[in-house]
Amino acid sequence: MLTATLTTLAIVTQDQASLRAAARDSSTQQAVLWQGDVLEIRGQRGDYLQVYDHRRERAGYVRAVQVRRLTLTANEAPELLTVVRFLRDAPGSEALGISYAAAYLKAAPAESLSAEPFDAIGSMAERLAQRASAPKPKVADPALAAHLEVVAQFGLRIKSFDRGGRTQACYDGEMYRRVLAMDTASPDQRARAALGITRHECVDPGVGPSDRYQLDLWRATVLDRVPATGLDPLLASRVHARRAGVWSSVAFEQARRGDPPQASAQRAMQELSTVNVGELGDDALGEYSDAAVRVGAVRWAAEFATHGSGKLAVATAPGAPGETCVSLTDTKHAAENPLLRRCTYGTVWAASARANSAGTALALAVQPLDTWRELWVFRKSDKGWTVDVLPPGTSGPDLGYIEFAGWTPGSKRMLVAREVRVDGRFRRRFEVLRMDTLQADKQAATPELLTDFARWEDATWKHQTVALR
């Protein structure tokens, strides 16, 4: 953190403060200083301090009212911690708060240190990364880039990923790891730390399947170490929601590896059901919706494949390396001579296959990604059998699922539910699709508004889906 040789310091408290060549307003501006910048004090001339900026390797003068002078003595530590407590929840002041926390860690005796300053630094660094990940305004914010440079001087690492054309910035979580390693950390501090280092959006998209599986197992272990009692209700629900999302990813990877995914998927569903939605504020409701869609996408992993009793069924077999081939069969056409055969690199949930009573259509869940589940619809026409792929939404694969919810009499319509994230917002819809076009004949935000759902929704779907939460 702060260099040991600097015993008389100044922390810049205002953005765009000027470092000047002389102690007057008309002198040349040497550099622009920002909240949290640390300067060594070497003297004073009138209302200016003579300082040296080690980060920029430049000397100069700064107005005394634009900085806070520190001696980094033990007597000063309690006051520094008070300022840290104030700034940790002040959006836009993350760099300044982190600078004060670094000063506190230097001033406070080692034996008096608790998990609080590390928790505060982690929280502020995480919030700064979230600011850097927000959609970019038309006019760039120079303060944000400057604040990122300021915190870098304290050894805090904020890494960036490209996700669908937008930048995702993430704090690497070193301070949170220190909190988890301290026996004196409170349950709430441990929960915040675990949530801070297990964020879904901060998983490197370039990680391969094997490494991703090990990372998800590690994330699950970290979250399971959060105490079960003594937690703030909001934090407890956030932990349950995060566990649900992580165990959903574990279940998907297990299915991809050929391992039984049922226990992990059931754990994901159980964690989701434990979330107390009434305890969540507006911000945390987004985390709950995120977890619900992740669980919804992988919920068929909790079921064991069964042999259907209808006129149609599906059989799966390995295809090319990494592929699964789906064969549509009936009483006259076995897997060796199927009605239709199609291969995919996605995970095929054979237990999801649902045929209509006429034997002219079948719906099947296929999941190409751990957060994206599609619906395959096999249909018979005058020209033979075809299969159409219905995605959860029209945007690229992100976070969403679409699922079969029932057949209407005569099998002319199919009920579906879909939930998808679009531009950061979650949208849930219930639809009645025409089987001849697979276009929505009716749709609503709740199934109660659709008569067909009230009459013909599939009983198994109603019991198992998370769309009705």
**What's the pLDDT tens digit per position in 76-127?**
999 999 999 999 999 999 999 999 999 999 999 999 999 999 999 999 999 9
pLDDT of residue 367: 98
Residue-level pLDDT at 387? 98
The per-residue pLDDT for 306 is: 67
pLDDT score recorded for residue 1: 46
Task: Give the pLDDT score at 352.
Answer: 96
pLDDT, position 447: 96
Average pLDDT over residues 409-424: 93
Q: Is the pLDDT of residue 20 over 60?
A: yes
Report the SS3 class of residue 337: coil
Other CB atoms within 10 A of residue 225 CB:
11
Give dist(CA 151, CA 156) in Å, integer. Answer: 6
Report the run of H or E that residue 375 belongs to, with start and end.
strand 372-381
What confidence tier does 461 reach under pLDDT thresholds 50, 70, 90? very high
Domain residue ranges of the chain, discontinuous segments joined by +: 9-70, 186-301, 307-464
Compute the distance between CA of residue 14 and CA of residue 180 in angstroms, rounded to an integer.
Answer: 33
Residues 134-168: tens digit of each pLDDT: 877 655 688 999 999 999 999 999 999 888 778 89
Q: Which residues contact 436 (CB under 8 A, 6 or more apart)?
A: 412
In this prediction, residue 242 has a pLDDT band, given cuts at 50, 70 and 90, of: very high
pLDDT at residue 166, rounded to an integer: 81
| pLDDT of residue 328 exceeding 50 | yes
| pLDDT tens digits, one per residue of 25-73 | 999 999 999 999 999 999 999 999 999 999 999 999 999 999 999 999 9
Domain 9-70 superfamily per CATH: SH3 Domains (2.30.30.40)
Whether 198 has a pLDDT exceeding 80, the answer reads: yes
For the residues 267-275, what does the mean pLDDT come to?
97
Q: For residue 389, give the DSSP letter.
A: E
Are 72 and 105 contacting, i.e. CB atoms less than 8 angstroms apart? no
> Hey, what's the torsion of the CAs at 50, 56, 58, 60, to 10 degrees?
-30
Taking only the tens place, the pLDDT of each residue in 428-444 is 999 999 999 999 999 99
For the entire predicted model, the pTM comes to 0.92
Work out the angle between the directed axes of helices 187-196 and 116-133 (0-180°, nearest 10).
30
Rounded percentage of the chain residues whose pLDDT exceeds 70: 97
Mean pLDDT across the chain: 94
pLDDT on residue 74: 95
Least confident of 193-202, 273-282, 318-327: 273-282
Q: Distance between CA atoms of 320 and 196, rounded to whole angstroms?
A: 40
Is residue 392 classed as helix, strand or coil in its secondary structure? Answer: coil
**What confidence score (pLDDT) does residue 135 get?**
79
Question: How sure is the predictor about 417, in pLDDT bands with cuts at 50, 70 and 90?
Answer: very high
Q: How much is the pLDDT for 396?
A: 77
Degrees, nearest 5: CA angle 421-414-417: 20
* Least confident span in 123-132, 227-236, 277-286, 431-440: 277-286
Rg (CA), the chain: 28
pLDDT exceeds cutoff 70 at 426: yes
Given pLDDT bands bounded at 50, 70 and 90, which one contains residue 3? very low
- Nearest CA to 64 out of 46, 48, 51, 44 is that of 48
Are the beta carbons of 358 and 334 closer than 8 angstroms? no
Q: Which two tokens stand for residue 141?
A: 């914010």
Average pLDDT over residues 440-450: 96
State residue 222's pLDDT score.
Answer: 98
Q: Is the pLDDT of residue 308 over 60?
A: no
Q: What is the pLDDT of residue 359?
A: 94
pLDDT at 5 over 50: no
Residue 343 has pLDDT above 90, yes or no: yes
